[in-house]
Amino acid sequence: MICDACGKHIQSGTGAGRAILCRTCFPDVMAEVERLRGEGKPTDALSIARQIFRENHSVGSYLLRDIPAELWTAAKHKAVDEGINLRELILKALQEYLKNTP
């Protein structure tokens, strides 16, 4: 399951309307829902969660294609072993590579 507001993988989430939210993002989304309700505006938790996601991750979205299956499997296992998701593992690998390359 993935949180609609932050994009992190979660074991269990809280539903708010059509949105699935982690415990960290739930209060932020609900605060915005309440603010909009107070102004008499329509509220949609999923739209709010997606807006929060876009605001925090506006750098872009990239696809990696044709990754050898054994490399992808090894990466998934390494991520699980480290308790992180694949995005975090890939970012960590890129940072290490850039740090160690002139």
Q: Which are the contacts of 13, defined by CB distance < 8 A and separation ≥ 6?
A: 1, 3, 20, 21, 22
State the pTM of this model: 0.54
Residue 6 burial (CB count, 10 A): 17
The confidence band for 16, taking pLDDT boundaries of 50, 70 and 90, is confident
Interval 71-94: pLDDT, tens: 999 999 998 999 888 888 999 999
Residue 89 to residues 4, 55, 93: CA-CA distances in angstroms? 20, 22, 6
DSSP 9: B
Sequence ranges of the domains in the chain: 14-56, 69-99
What pLDDT does 60 receive? 63
**What integer best gives the mean pLDDT of the chain?**
89
